[in-house]
């Protein structure tokens, strides 16, 4: 009877919804099931596992679409799972880098660069230092155009450019003359 198909559909959908940690939409589950079925049929015909290209041709779909579907079928792993089967030694979560905090070495290096920059900028006039800080976004400032800096300092854009070039020349000369002592 027709009830057989309704019961079968309800059971397959229940399995699809409950079988995975992250639920996939029903239409994706059905397409993945079709891919598995075609893959097994081709494996029986060819005597070996079919390539992605052969599966895509058999299903009449582009390889990119097949790859996208197969990526969605990947299983999830627990971050508490032991690595290399060693109980209690190390866990998958321990091997993932924490990008929310800066590396200590990077922080020290950044601090040293900040100190060095401060020493170099101390050899400039107040206007030159201010122009470079605004132009290059130093000292927590955001970068500004020559025209914006000119409006802030009440000078022309050309004057800001001249001050910037003069300051950069001074710094270049300063670093060539005594690079390590500063």
172 and 108 housed in the same domain: yes
Tell me, what's the pLDDT at 62?
Answer: 93
Tell me, yes or no, whether 97 lies in a domain.
Answer: no
- Asked if residues 130 and 159 have their Cβ atoms less than 8 Å apart, the reply is no
pLDDT-derived band at 182 (thresholds 50, 70, 90) equals very low
CATH number at residue 7: 1.10.10
Dist CA 31 CA 34 (whole Å): 5
pLDDT in tens, 115-145: 888 888 888 999 999 999 999 988 777 899 9
Q: What is the DSSP string of the chain?
A: -THHHHHHHHHHHHHHHHSSSSPPPHHHHHHHHHHHHHHHHHHHHHSSPPPHHHHHHHHT--HHHHHHHHHHTPPP--TTSBGGG-TTS-BGGGGS--TTS--HHHHHHHHHHHHHHHHHHTTS-HHHHHHHHHHHT-TTPPP--HHHHHHHHTS-HHHHHHHHHHHHHHHHHHHHH-TTT-
Domain that holds residue 124: 104-177
Tell me, yes or no, whether 83 lies in a domain.
Answer: no
170 and 108 housed in the same domain: yes
Tell me, what's the pLDDT at 146?
Answer: 92
66 and 124 housed in the same domain: no
Q: Structurally, how many domains does the chain consist of?
A: 2
Average pLDDT over residues 30-35: 90
Tell me, yes or no, whether 54 lies in a domain.
Answer: yes
pLDDT-derived band at 180 (thresholds 50, 70, 90) equals low
Phi/psi-derived region of residue 125, left when phi > 0, alpha when psi is between -120 and 50, beta in every other case: beta
């Amino acid at each position: 009877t027709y009830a057989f198909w309704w019961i079968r559909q309800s059971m397959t959908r229940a399995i699809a919804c409950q079988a995975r940690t992250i639920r996939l939409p029903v239409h994706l589950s059905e397409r993945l099931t079709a891919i598995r079925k075609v893959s097994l049929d081709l494996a029986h015909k060819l005597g070996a596992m079919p390539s992605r290209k052969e599966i895509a041709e058999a299903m009449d779909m582009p390889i990119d679409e097949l790859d996208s579907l197969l990526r969605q079928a990947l299983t999830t792993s627990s971050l508490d799972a032991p690595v290399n089967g060693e109980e209690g030694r190390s866990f998958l979560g321990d091997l993932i880098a924490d990008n929310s905090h800066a590396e200590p070495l990077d922080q020290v290096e950044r601090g040293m660069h900040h100190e060095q920059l401060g020493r170099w900028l101390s050899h400039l006039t107040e206007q030159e230092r201010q122009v470079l800080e605004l132009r290059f976004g130093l000292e927590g400032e955001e970068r500004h155009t020559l025209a914006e800096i000119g409006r802030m300092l009440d000078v022309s854009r050309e004057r800001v450019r001249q001050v910037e070039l003069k300051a950069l020349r001074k710094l270049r000369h300063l670093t060539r003359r005594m690079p390590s002592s500063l």
